[in-house]
Amino acid sequence: MTIHCTQCNSGRVYRSRLRPGERTPAHLLLAPYRCRDCKTRFWGRDSNAYLVTAVGIGSVLLLGSLTWIGFSSDESVERSPLLQPQTASTIDSLQSSSQLPSPSPSAKPTLTEAIARGENIDLQSVKSENTNILPNPDDNRLYTINLFLEKAKKGNADAQYQLGILYLTGKGTLQDFSEASKWFISAAEQNHPLAQYELGLLYQIGQGVEMDNEKSYMWLNLAAAAGIEQAALARDKVMRLLSRTQLASAQKAAREWLTSRNKSEK
């Protein structure tokens, strides 16, 4: 399901964090989102909430069915005059096993179930656990990140940018703005225009990094110079927030960064 901005109808949106007091009955099946283009914050359908609701209803129906089967077994045991003691104990055993077992304290849900419920997952502890509880490697919700991690650690700018996008959107891993900004910075420092654009936006709204309009302008200016049209529009918005002194400083920083980068490439 694709979420679109209610203000500008852009599909470039990401999930926003819940603010205190926002989880009300009216928002039970909704989630907050923010548009990357116009920065509008709005509410949209929460697919995870719908999934949890469906699972809950299914569990209630299943429990009701098992309970009805259990009562039916009780009645059949009491009405059978030919039932032998051994058979009775066998039915009692089957009846007790028909009840849903309560999870033991040491039991852990599979990662697929945890992701579906929206639980927080510690990726470091996941890597150290027995692999027999991991979901199918074909499940892109968890394993997409591994497609880029090794190359990113070796300095590949494209892989670093892709990792930043995964952490920014929460697709393939847990949403983490700080981790996203780290990989965007690594790619942006290697003159990756799209990473520079995303990093400029993060500095503009203060997600994963401290809000800094001068740094936002600098990175957006570099991305715009590389031909990213959206960066030019975002840069012009940031420019209106800067004083003349700040604007001159940001433009100087962009020129110096570009000059230093060109020298290092020679």
* Full pLDDT tens readout for the chain, 266 residues: 678 788 888 888 887 777 777 667 766 678 888 888 887 887 777 777 667 677 777 777 877 777 766 655 554 444 444 334 444 443 344 344 333 333 333 333 333 333 334 444 343 443 343 333 333 445 454 567 778 888 999 999 999 999 999 999 887 778 899 999 999 999 999 999 999 999 999 999 998 999 999 999 999 999 999 999 999 999 999 999 999 999 999 999 999 999 988 887 76
- List residues bridging with 34 in a β-sheet: 14, 41
Residue 99, sorted as left (phi over 0), alpha (psi -120 to 50) or beta, turns out to be beta
Q: Hey, what CATH topology would domain 144-265 get? A: 1.25.40
- The whole-number pLDDT of residue 76 equals 47
Model pLDDT for residues 74-123, shown as the tens digit of each residue = 544 444 443 344 444 433 443 443 333 333 333 333 333 333 344 443 43
pTM of the shown model: 0.48
- Strand pairing of 30-35 and 41-45? antiparallel
Q: What is the DSSP string of 30-78?
A: EEEEEETTT--EEEEE-HHHHHHHHHHHHHHHHHHHHHHHHHHHHHHHH
Query: Both tokens of residue 152?
Result: 């990113």
* Pairwise CA distance, residues 146 & 150, whole Å: 7
